Structure formats: C-alpha cells, structure tokens
C-alpha cells in the first residue's frame, strides 16, 4: 500500500523541493499545506502515515495533540529544522512519537551570515548608513579594526561554531571557544576556555548554541557586564538564549559596542509577516532605532542549499521511519 506523508506549513520557497522529492519517490503520496501544526489543525493528520513540519511556535500547551497523533496511528514527527524547541519531547515520548530533526542542513549558510554581521559591525556600516541618510559624509570617529588583530569568542563549537571558527581563522583572527564537549579535532582551530574568559577578552562574541531550558537567557545582564565596552555581540542561533532587555540595556549603557541580531525572543510575532504600521514587538523597534545594531529577520539559514537539505532530509527521515527503518537524526530524550 502506498505510504502517505503530510507536510505542514510548507512555505513558498520550500514547495519546489517538496515537489522534487515527491517526483523522486513516485510510490509515496506527499501532500502539504500552509498551516502550522496545532490543536486546531492536528485533525488534518488523520489518514496519513508520516508527518513533517517546521515552525517556531509550540505545537501545543497540552499533551492532547500528541495523544491525537498517537490515536491516528502516527508514530513520528520529522522537523525541517535543527531546533526542536517547538515540540514537547516528554509528551512525544509518552505517546510513542519518534522525533527527528535536520542537525546539519548547511553550517556554511549560518557561518557566512555570522561573518556578514561581523563585518557590518566591525566596519561600522550601520553608522555610516545612518550618517549618509542625513547627508553626513564625515568619517571621523568610525575608524575600523581589522579581523586579523581581533580575538573572536565562539560560544558553542559544534558544526556551525567550528565552521565559523574556520572562516575567522582565514582572516588571521585569534579564536577562543567554549563548548560543553571539547572536540579534540578542533584544538588546532580554537583555544578552549571558559565563557567568562571569552566575555572578558573577546573583541567579538558570537553565539552558536542550541535552545534548551538550561540555555534560556544564557546571556543576561551579568554576562554583558563582563564584556569589553569595545566588544561586538552576535546571535545567529536561537533568540531565547539572550535576554533581549539585557541586550538593549547593554547597548544603551555602552557596555558593548554593537550587536548583530538574526534571532530574538518572541520573533514569531513579527518575522515572516508584513505590517503597515508599528510592529507588536516593541523590543525589536528599540533595536531598529540603534545605529550600532545590524538586524536580519532569522535568515541565517536561508540559502538554496540549506532549504533543499532541510526539506529533503526531513522527508527522507519520515519515509525511513514509516517503513520500519532507523535514522541517525532521531532525537533521544
């Protein structure tokens, strides 16, 4: 019997890769929609063998959704993302749902965006653009440093963090790294040290950690207070690992020199949406008004290669699990 897969919340830029995967698997029925998987849309999963989804908001605040999926005969959920914080892993396990993710869709994509943020900050591009918008072409006060004379601090030296390290290493920068697991293969690339040492000594600090309860607000007032006033801070990982209010205070009080932000707390209130007037996320409005802040709307991952890998790998994992196979991308609780 033909297996049936339903992909939730397929965005416009993902469709071509879903259709491409479906054409490569003519013995599998692949349907998709443009809605997120929540309590009011879970019934759409009835009659399918496998479910694929990607979203930044939680599936549900109660275990009922997971029970419904179990009752429908669903045994897995494949995420088209590295992060799995939209899913309650405890409830999933209790209801026999195997969860998979795409842990490495393109480390290069995020690393290149990190470099983009770094160069914009170090070369004072936001400030120059602000001045030029007012027909002010005076350059005094905005002289830059070169990456070769800087110390880069990387929090989270995994697939993405190590790729970031390789890029900055090519510029001749000194690299400090911190990770819960020190990888011997990266010892020629980074000097492992404590987070506190990185905050104290790095000229640019970039975050590349996953989201978990333990990592919530990993960067708060205490951490910003330890950074050099000349340091730049970049977050291209997960919004909630940084206390947004503490970040704003650090910028306003000149505890740091600037920030590059691709992700932010409560970003689902504004990202992938268009507004005629004011946006509902007031903290983001404050950041937009600062000329030492470089902002992008959670697009560090957004390249052709990354999107293709996210879609196809998650569908591959879905098919494997519903046909009795295993996948190395299973999340173990």
pLDDT bin (cut points 50, 70, 90) of residue 85 is: confident
How many Å apart are CA 142 and CA 221, to the nearest integer?
Answer: 27
**Is 308 in the same domain as 271?**
no
Q: Which residue is catalytic, options 80, 159, 208, 238?
A: 238
Q: Is the pLDDT of residue 83 over 90?
A: no
Total structural domains in the chain? Answer: 2
Is residue 281 assigned to a domain? yes
Examine residue 277 and state whether it is found in any structural domain, yes or no.
Answer: yes
112 is catalytic: no
CA 171 distance to own-chain centroid? 24
Do 260 and 314 belong together in one domain? no
Both 38 and 153 in one domain: the answer is: no
Q: For residue 104, what pLDDT is reported?
A: 85
Is 259 within a domain? yes
The C-alpha atoms of residue 289 and residue 286 are separated, in whole angstroms, by: 5
H-helix or E-strand spanning residue 130: helix 125-133
Checking if the pLDDT of 189 tops 90, the result is yes
Based on the domain organization, do 14 and 131 belong to the same domain? no
Q: How far apart are CA 222 and CA 106, in angstroms?
A: 32
Q: Domain of 179: which CATH number?
A: 3.40.50.720
Residue 92 shares a structural domain with residue 179: no
Catalytic residue among 54, 56, 159, 298: 298
Catalytic residue among 80, 208, 267, 329: 267
Residues in Cβ contact with 141 at an 8 Å cutoff, skipping those fewer than 6 apart: none
Same domain (yes/no): 229, 217: yes
Task: Give the three-state DSSP class for 127.
Answer: helix
- pLDDT tier, 212 (very low <50, low <70, confident <90, very high otherwise): confident
> Is residue 233 situated within a structural domain?
yes
Prediction pTM value: 0.91
Same domain, 275 and 129: yes
Question: Do both 80 and 111 map to the same domain?
Answer: no
**80 & 225 share domain:** no
Would you say residue 200 has pLDDT above 90? yes
| Per-residue pLDDT at 289 | 98
Domain that holds residue 83: 3-105+304-323
Q: How high is the pLDDT of residue 94?
A: 98
Q: What is the pLDDT of residues 7-36, one digit of tens each?
A: 999 999 999 999 999 999 999 999 999 999
Same domain for 98 and 223?
Answer: no
CA angle, corner 118, sides to 228 and 207, nearest 5? 70
- What span, in angstroms and rounded, lies between the C-alpha atoms of 170 and 116? 15
CA distance 19 to 25: 10
93 and 130 in a single domain? The answer is no
331 domain-assigned: no
332 occurs within a structural domain: no
> Do 217 and 242 form a contact (C-beta atoms < 8 A)?
yes
238 is catalytic: yes
Is residue 329 situated within a structural domain?
A: no
Length of the chain: 333
What pLDDT shows up at residue 87? 96
The answer to whether position 225 is within a domain reads: yes
Query: Is the domain of 87 the same as that of 117?
Result: no
For 108-163, the pLDDT digits (tens) are 999 999 999 999 999 999 999 999 999 999 999 999 999 999 999 999 999 999 99
């Amino acid at each position: 019997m033909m297996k049936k897969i339903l992909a939730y919340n397929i965005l416009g830029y993902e469709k071509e890769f879903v259709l491409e995967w479906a054409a490569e698997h003519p013995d599998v029925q692949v349907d998709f929609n443009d809605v997120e998987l929540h309590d009011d849309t879970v019934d759409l999963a009835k009659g399918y063998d496998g479910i694929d989804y990607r979203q930044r908001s939680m599936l549900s605040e109660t275990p009922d959704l997971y029970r419904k999926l179990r009752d429908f005969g669903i045994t897995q959920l494949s995420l088209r993302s590295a992060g799995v914080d939209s899913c309650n892993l405890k409830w999933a396990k209790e209801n026999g749902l195997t969860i998979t993710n795409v842990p490495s869709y393109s480390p290069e994509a995020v690393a290149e965006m990190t470099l983009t943020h770094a160069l914009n900050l170090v070369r004072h591009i936001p400030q120059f653009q602000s001045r030029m918008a007012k027909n002010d072409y005076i350059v005094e006060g905005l002289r830059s440093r070169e990456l070769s004379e800087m110390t880069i601090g990387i929090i989270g030296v995994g697939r993405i963090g190590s790729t970031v390290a390789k890029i900055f290493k090519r510029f001749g920068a000194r690299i400090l790294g911190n990770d819960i697991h020190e990888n011997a293969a990266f010892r020629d690339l980074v000097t492992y040290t404590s987070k506190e040492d990185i905050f104290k000594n790095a000229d640019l600090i970039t975050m590349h950690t996953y989201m978990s309860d333990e990592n919530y607000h990993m960067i708060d007032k205490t951490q910003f207070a330890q950074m050099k006033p000349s340091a730049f801070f970049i977050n291209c990982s997960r919004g909630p690992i940084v206390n947004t209010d503490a970040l704003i205070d650090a910028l306003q009080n000149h505890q740091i020199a600037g920030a590059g932000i691709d992700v932010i707390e409560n970003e689902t209130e504004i990202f992938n949406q268009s507004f005629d007037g004011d946006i509902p996320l007031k903290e983001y409005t404050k950041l937009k008004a600062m000329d030492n802040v470089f902002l992008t709307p959670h697009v560090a991952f957004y390249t052709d290669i990354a999107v293709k890998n996210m879609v196809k790998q998650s569908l591959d994992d879905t098919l494997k699990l519903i046909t009795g196979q295993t996948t190395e991308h299973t999340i173990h609780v």
